[in-house]
């Protein structure tokens, strides 16, 4: 008996994905300028970025990074516990905790590492992790790290979550959900989930990657927008690579949570700290996000404009009122065709296909930024209507209530 070749097996999986029109394509951005991108020899207007507030190129954010790098160097040189925890890291943690109205914050290199660290620390083999079916892939992957039992409830359905919790009333349980779902753009019913967690004596965790900076007072995210505090949501994860336009993440919560993560979160203990210049840039971005509320106001106007224009043109959208506006197309071939047509017209909106979304849920994930103008949104809507109208079977005559709800393996 011959042993299977791992690389050959991987190549076979890739061939199968290509045959299903699900192969992902890596594009090189030669230069980015605001919402505009240079892709090879083409200049296109991007509607795929998570830079919701337009802070990635903000002068104050860029200046903070450059000045700190000139003063402190680039790398942190060590893990936090081995001398890598510098004053910029400490200052950022303090400012994050103040902004998000929590006792403590702890930095992680990425949101994925934060989620892996939290679940790997809090949960063990005898425990239960309950998750929304459309949670981000990193939350699902973290269950493997923890070795606990995973149960997935129907999307945004607190009654389904309650039934799942009731199957194991004596087991320690973490209820984990995205605040804003990255492929659908809708929001979790956080107030209802918090009430359920209290009643069932479960711990609620919210991954608010796509809510921080965008929602709630001063952009404090979906948890604040729902009027919830630390006791309601003991574990909150926030990333810096979306609305704040930088990179990295933090977990915020009470003293016991943060000190426990410092001791036991392997993705914190065994990795080099963020570059201090990135921490400085994040502090600058945080200040802009808090105090320049016109950016959130502009986003809200653009969302309303896009949805009104899509409805007028008969385009099928998911039920989202955040900057994530999925245009539902169903099959991968249609999503690819519309994406290619948009790029020919000067708009960059990559197709999102299975397995990132469920079978039959292929779409264009349009994301809006405070950098966009209403005239640019109008141009995109016209190009979308034209491209969809040219499909062999034109898609949708009304705004869809939601996207398909089959379980997916997580979102990009």
d(CA 60, CA 187): 31
CATH topology agreement for domains 28-53+293-389 and 59-291: no
pLDDT, residue 403, reads 42
CB 244 within 8 A of CB 210: no
If one compares 19 and 387, the residue with the highest pLDDT of the two is: 387
For range 182-190, the mean pLDDT: 96
CB 102 within 8 A of CB 236: yes
Instruction: Mention every residue, 6+ apart, whose C-beta is less than 8 A from residue 352.
Output: 183, 326, 335, 362, 363, 364, 365, 412
Select from 195, 225, 231 the least CA-distant residue to 212: 225
Under DSSP, the state recorded for 406 is: S
For range 106-111, the mean pLDDT: 97
pLDDT, residue 393, reads 66
Q: Is the pLDDT of residue 68 over 70?
A: yes
Q: Active-site residues: which are they?
A: 182, 210, 242
State in Å, rounded, how far the first CA of the chain is from the last one: 39
Question: Per-residue DSSP letters for 156-208?
Answer: T-HHHHHHHHHT-TTS-EEEEEESB-TTT--B--HHHHHHHHHHHT-EEEEE-
Predicted confidence band at 396 (pLDDT cuts at 50, 70, 90)? very low
Q: Where are the domains of the chain?
A: 28-53+293-389, 59-291
pLDDT, tens digit (0-9, with 9 covering 90-100), for 196-220: 999 999 999 999 999 999 999 999 9
Looking at the DSSP assignment, which residues form a beta bridge with residue 151?
A: 130
pLDDT, residue 163, reads 97
pLDDT, residue 394, reads 56
Select from 236, 204, 203 the least CA-distant residue to 222: 236
Secondary structure class of 17 (helix, strand, coil): helix
Q: Is the pLDDT of residue 395 over 60?
A: no
Select from 208, 172, 168 the least CA-distant residue to 187: 208
Residue keyed to tokens 């890598």: 84
Tokens of 337: 């065709």
Q: What pTM does this model have?
A: 0.92
Secondary structure class of 382 (helix, strand, coil): helix
Q: How far is residue 32 from each of residues 42, 44, 49, measured CA to CA in Å?
A: 12, 10, 11
Average pLDDT, the chain: 93
Q: Is the pLDDT of residue 401 over 90?
A: no
d(CA 149, CA 166): 14
Select from 391, 383, 403, 286 the least CA-distant residue to 343: 383
CB 103 within 8 A of CB 251: no
SS3 of 131-152: the string is EECCCCHHHHHHHHHHCCEEEE
DSSP element (H, E) containing 177: strand 173-178
pLDDT, tens digit (0-9, with 9 covering 90-100), for 16-52: 888 887 778 878 777 788 899 898 778 999 999 999 9
d(CA 81, CA 104): 17
CATH 3.90.1150.10 for domain 28-53+293-389, yes or no, is yes
CB 406 within 8 A of CB 184: no
Select from 60, 80, 79 the least CA-distant residue to 68: 60
Q: What is the CA radius of gyration of the chain?
A: 21
d(CA 57, CA 32): 9
Q: Indicate the CATH number for domain 59-291.
A: 3.40.640.10
């Amino acid at each position: 008996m011959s042993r299977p070749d791992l690389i050959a097996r991987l190549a076979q999986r890739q061939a199968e994905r290509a045959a299903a029109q699900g192969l992902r394509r890596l594009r090189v951005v030669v230069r980015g300028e605001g919402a505009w991108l240079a892709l090879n020899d083409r200049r296109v207007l991007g509607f795929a970025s998570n830079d919701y507030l337009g802070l990635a190129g903000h002068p104050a954010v860029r200046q903070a990074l450059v000045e700190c790098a000139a003063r402190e160097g680039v790398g942190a040189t060590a893990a936090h516990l081995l001398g890598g925890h510098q004053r910029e890291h400490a200052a950022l943690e303090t400012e994050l905790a103040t902004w998000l109205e929590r006792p403590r914050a702890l930095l992680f290199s990425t949101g994925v590492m934060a989620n892996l660290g939290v679940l790997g620390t809090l949960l063990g083999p005898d425990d239960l992790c309950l998750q929304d079916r459309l949670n981000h892939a990193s939350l699902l992957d973290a269950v493997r790290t923890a070795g606990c039992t995973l149960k997935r409830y129907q999307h945004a359905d607190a009654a389904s979550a309650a039934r799942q919790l009731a199957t194991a009333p004596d087991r320690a349980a973490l209820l984990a959900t995205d605040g804003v779902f990255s492929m659908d753009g809708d929001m979790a019913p956080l107030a209802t989930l918090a009430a359920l967690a209290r009643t069932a004596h479960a711990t609620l965790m919210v991954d608010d990657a796509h809510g921080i900076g965008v929602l709630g007072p001063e952009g404090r995210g979906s948890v604040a927008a729902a009027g919830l505090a630390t006791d309601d949501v003991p574990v909150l994860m926030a990333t810096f690579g979306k609305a704040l336009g930088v990179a990295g993440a933090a977990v915020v919560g009470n003293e016991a949570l943060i000190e426990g993560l410092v001791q036991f979160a392997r993705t914190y203990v065994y990795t080099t700290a963020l570059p201090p210049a990135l921490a400085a840039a994040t502090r600058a971005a945080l200040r802009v996000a808090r105090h320049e509320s016109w950016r959130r106001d502009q986003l809200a106007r653009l969302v309303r404009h896009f949805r009104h224009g899509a409805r007028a043109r008969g385009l099928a959208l998911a039920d989202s009122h955040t900057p994530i506006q999925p245009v539902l197309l169903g099959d991968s071939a249609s999503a690819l065709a519309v994406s290619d047509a948009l790029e020919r017209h000067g708009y960059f909106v990559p197709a999102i296909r299975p397995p990132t979304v469920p079978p039959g849920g292929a779409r264009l994930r349009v994301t809006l930024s405070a950098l966009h103008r209403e005239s640019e949104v109008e141009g995109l809507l016209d190009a979308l209507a034209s491209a969809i109208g040219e499909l062999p079977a034109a898609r949708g005559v009304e705004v869809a209530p939601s996207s398909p709800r089959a379980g997916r393996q997580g979102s990009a």
